[in-house]
Amino acid sequence: MSKTVSFTAMKDGTREEYALLAQLEKPFLALTADRVLDELRRADEVTLEGYKISRLTHGLQSATRAMRDGADIDWVVGALLHDIGDGLAPQNHDRMSAEVIRPFVRWDVAWVVEHHGIFQMLYYAHHYGWDRDARERFRDHPCFDSCAEFCERWDQSSFDPDYPTEPLSRFEPMLREVFGRKAHDPAVLREGFVSSLIGANP
């Protein structure tokens, strides 16, 4: 079988050609964790404009706080990567970050990462004349309290250059474990289950 498909329009592909593409894509998918790590390392080269730390340090500090609170691996990786979308989508980084992790973590972790931007507005929006209570539109969502706690404990507090932050190498095994999971596995996503941020989860 050829290593290249014959079609030039997707609608013309055959079952055999799509089977070939699925097979050829496997090595690329297996390197997802490596690409995420590369993006994190690039974030170390970008200082948060006006802040005292880099984008990577903010993520590492958030993950360090989560880990020290006894959060499980999904929450720790979620904290580490909650701003990974900043580089390409600064205006909607929260949603992009959520899409990076969504196939591999519990649904509540992905929801919190997706919505942390609007929840963070509680701390600063009034200084710009914006609605600091915009998150209230989600008050009845089962993950509201989780997102509020995520922002309070791990996000808004993680801009401190003097905080003893763990290095990226400390989190690399966790990241590789999460991205090594089968994507979109219902047993991982646990749709509808709301986990605790602090301490062990069942």
pLDDT, one tens digit per residue, over 26-61 is 998 999 999 999 999 988 886 667 888 999 999 999
Mean pLDDT value across the chain: 93
Domain count, the chain: 1
DSSP 136: G
The answer to whether 111 and 150 have CB atoms below 8 angstroms apart is no
Look up the pTM and report it: 0.92
Residue 127 lies in a domain: yes
In which band, very low, low, confident or very high, does the pLDDT at 200 lie, cut at 50, 70 and 90?
Answer: low
Write out the residue range of the structural domain in which residue 182 sits.
Answer: 12-189
Residue 144 lies in a domain: yes
Say whether pLDDT at 11 is over 80. yes
Closest of 122, 39, 121 to residue 83, by C-alpha: 39
Q: How far is CA 198 from the centre of its chain?
A: 18
For residue 67, the domain's CATH number is 1.10.3210.10
The pair phi, psi for residue 47, each rounded to 5°, is -75, 135
pLDDT of residue 46: 67
Residue 176 lies in a domain: yes
Residue 83 lies in a domain: yes
Taking the C-alpha atoms of residue 58 and residue 158, their distance in angstroms, rounded to an integer, is 6
Residue 201 lies in a domain: no
Residue 102 lies in a domain: yes
**Weakest mean pLDDT among 45-49, 68-72, 78-82:** 45-49
Residue 202 lies in a domain: no
Sign of CA dihedral 175, 36, 194, 107: negative
Residue 100 lies in a domain: yes
Q: 149-171, pLDDT tens digit by residue?
A: 999 999 999 999 999 999 999 99
Taking the C-alpha atoms of residue 127 and residue 121, their distance in angstroms, rounded to an integer, is 10
DSSP string of 47-116? B-TTSSSBHHHHHHHHHHHHHHTT--HHHHHHHHHTTGGGGT-TTSHHHHHHHHHTTTS-HHHHHHHHHH
Taking the C-alpha atoms of residue 117 and residue 138, their distance in angstroms, rounded to an integer, is 13
